[in-house]
Amino acid sequence: MKAIFQAVLIVVVFVGSQSGLAKEVYDFSNEAERERFHRFTYELRCPKCQSQNLAGSDSQISQDLKRELHRLIIDGKTDDEILDFMVTRYGDFVLYRPQFQSNTLLLWLGPLALILIGLGVFGWILFRKMSAQSTEE
């Protein structure tokens, strides 16, 4: 009895997982194109579901954008042209890796500035400790 139950369970789980895999399939003429497609679906953000990329989202807009991305790649558009296409329609928002421009300066250089400040403070404390020690001697 238990064995039968297990067998049924395995079949159910297997069939269930298969239907979950039934996603839209995109054809590419070569591996490089497929590679680019996947890279873009990871780097482009779904405008509707704000914490997901296109690869991770099955919302309508993500499906549309993936179809569009597929079309652009098949048409032989360059990376810059594809990014430009997305940004003119959905704004800088769609880029998970923002471009280096005036309004993203803080974003890009902020961490570097913080590290420099940290090193500065560290250096200053070290310097004071050392000079305090040398005066003691």
Partner 1 sequence: MKRLKLFIPLIIFVLLAILFTLGLGIDPHKMPSALVGRPVPNFSLSTVQDTTRIVDQEQLKGHGFALINIWATWCGPCRQEHPFLVKLANNGFPIFGVNAKDELELAQQWLKERGDPYKFSAFDPEGRLGLDLGVYGYPETFLINSEGQVLHRFAGVLTEKVWQRDFIPLINP
Sites of contact with partner 1 (CB under 8 A)? 47-48, 50, 61, 64-65, 68, 87-91, 93
Rounded to an integer, what distance in angstroms lies between the CA atom of residue 80 and that of residue 135? 60
Partners of 53 in the beta sheet? 45
Q: Kindly tell me which of 35 and 64 has the beta carbon lying closer to partner 1.
A: 64
Question: What does each C-alpha distance from 14 to 2, 6, 21, 92 come to in angstroms?
Answer: 18, 12, 11, 41
Please report how close the Cβ of residue 88 comes to partner 1 at its closest, in angstroms.
6
State the minimum distance, in angstroms, from the CB of residue 47 to partner 1: 4
Nearer to partner 1, 93 or 108 (CB): 93
**CA–CA dist 107, 112 (Å, integer):** 10
Give whichever of 41 and 47 is closer to partner 1, judged by the CB atom.
Answer: 47
Q: Least distance to partner 1 from the beta carbon of 123, Å? A: 18
The nearest distance, CB 9 to partner 1, in angstroms, is 37
Of 34 and 87, which CB lies nearer to partner 1 in the complex structure?
87
Specify the DSSP element, H or E, that contains 11.
Answer: helix 2-21
